[in-house]
Amino acid sequence: MAQTFNTPPVKFLENRDKQHFIDGRWSASLAGETLQTFNPGDGTVLATLARGRKEDIDAAVAVARRAFEGPWSALTPHDRYMLMLKVADVIEKNFDELSLLDTLDMGAPLTRTRAMKKGLLRTITYFAAQAMNWGGMSVPNSLPGSFTTFTLKAPVGVVGSVTPWNAPLVSMWWTMGGILASGCTGVIKPSEEASLSTLRTAELLVEAGVPPGVINVVTGLGAEAGAPLASHMDVDRIMFTGSTVTGREIIKSSATNMKRVNVELGGKSPDLVFADADLDKAVPGAAMGVFNNSGQICSAGTRVFVERKVQEEFVERFAAFTRKLRVAHPLDPQAQLGPVVSRRQMERVLEYLKIGQDEGAQLRAGGERIGGELSDGFFVAPTVFANASNDMRIAREEIFGPVATIIPFDTMEEALQLANATEYGLGGAVWTTNLSKAMKFVHAVKAGKLWVNCYGHQDEQMGFSGTKQSGYGMKGGAAHMEGFLYEKSVCINND
């Protein structure tokens, strides 16, 4: 019998038919079409979404352009700062509802989404501070005569964003935060797999005082709504988080009007464990570097390279840790891992479990769909493959599920070569008590964000990026704000 939990009341889901949010109000799809979104914990229909197409994107972009050129542009940096503090208050007041929506929509345990509160509020207030922290500078010149030269910065205009399903509660703020802090406006196309918290947040922004039309949300499929947004002639910047395949298409589409582009794409991040590492920390740290959010994190450290002299001990401890992880219904207060986001994603992961065994990797834990009381949901047991090689498909291709591939190495040189032998360059980590090894890793590994004796920690003030096929453009930090601005060079003749 399937396991059931009583879902706390969610006011936003009293009406399960959800429309676009454009110009501060709900708006049906112009074609009258809809999509269903499912609860991955039990496979039931959660809500119906408007199925956006090009005409819906056109309408939302036109609204965003009017808002950009309207009274919103007259707000001072301090006005935007104060407004964002009000936004933070409203988000905090409604956080329990937002976190529950994310749990129901994409399957992360409620314990995980509730734990995001402090980080989310820190992100919003960080961007609030950035509203008063950008500008130009005076520049000395070598021109004959008397001239004053300086630079000014200004918001680029309308920002389009296609956001992922694996952490909507946080992901949307890389766009929303930059928009509100810079004075831009935007249109967000959330993943059709998890749109509800984005829709509710857009509604709450208006409640907090953000003018209608500054943030608009159009739901729908990537090919039908995301692609028209990426190619739209009146969108000045496009942001995308998702697969490398789709990212390439986004970049191509941006050429229509030379949009600025920020793309965070796939990953197959290396996690190196040396024999001198503290295994009491390295085992759970590396395991959760893979299994956190059921493996649905772009920078997950899914290629675990272990120095051969401690490989077997590490694998035994890693597999034992994995088998003790509690995979449960997302509303179970004891759940450590939940389902993957959809049936399609579950089937993809299960196919890779078969591929790994066919390739000759040694299955040491998991390797199956979880049945019994979880049989109605999309649950995959956290899986450990050992004695693998870096040329196997499970080591080369992004699975985006709870699958760890453990690969032995003998020397530092070999470990670094294996770490960089991938088309991706998003993240990576090293576990060692030797500072020299740690610094060699940091300097040698080609990836946008690196950790030493930890995994996955993120500070919006530092920011992060990718390289190679993992994309480009900073998220967080001063460089993130630069993407929402363009620069004017000014020369004044003083004579």
Rounded to whole angstroms, how far apart are CA atoms 88 and 60?
25
Rounded to whole angstroms, how far apart are CA atoms 311 and 274?
9
Q: What is the DSSP code (8-state) at residue 438? A: H
Which residues neighbour 282 within 8 Å (Cβ) at sequence distance 6 or greater? 273, 314, 431, 453
- Tokens for 46, please give them: 């959660």
Rounded to whole angstroms, how far apart are CA atoms 185 and 23?
11
Start-to-end C-alpha separation, the chain: 86
Rounded to whole angstroms, how far apart are CA atoms 87 and 92?
8
Rounded to whole angstroms, how far apart are CA atoms 6 and 186?
37
Rounded to whole angstroms, how far apart are CA atoms 70 and 123?
27
- Tokens for 131, please give them: 């509203």
Strands 471-472 and 449-452, how do they pair? Answer: unpaired
Q: What angle do CA 285, 126, 264 make, to 5 degrees?
A: 55
Residue type, 135: G
User: Residue by residue, what is the 3-state secondary structure of 48-83?
Assistant: EEECCCHHHHHHHHHHHHHHHHCHHHHCCHHHHHHH
Which residues neighbour 97 within 8 Å (Cβ) at sequence distance 6 or greater? 10, 11, 12, 200
Measuring CA to CA, which residue among 68, 65, 80 is closest to residue 127? 80
Q: What is the DSSP string of 459-482?
A: -TTT-B---GGGEE--BSHHHHHH
Residue type, 120: L
Rounded to whole angstroms, how far apart are CA atoms 218 and 402?
30
Rounded to whole angstroms, how far apart are CA atoms 458 and 476?
10
8 Å CB contact between 261 and 236: no
Which residues neighbour 427 within 8 Å (Cβ) at sequence distance 6 or greater? 267, 269, 298, 299, 300, 301, 447, 448, 449, 450, 451
Rounded to whole angstroms, how far apart are CA atoms 64 and 130?
22
Residue type, 482: E
Measuring CA to CA, which residue among 209, 258, 201 is closest to residue 486? 258
8 Å CB contact between 46 and 37: yes
By annotation, the residues acting in catalysis are: 264, 298
The residue behind tokens 């007259």 is 74
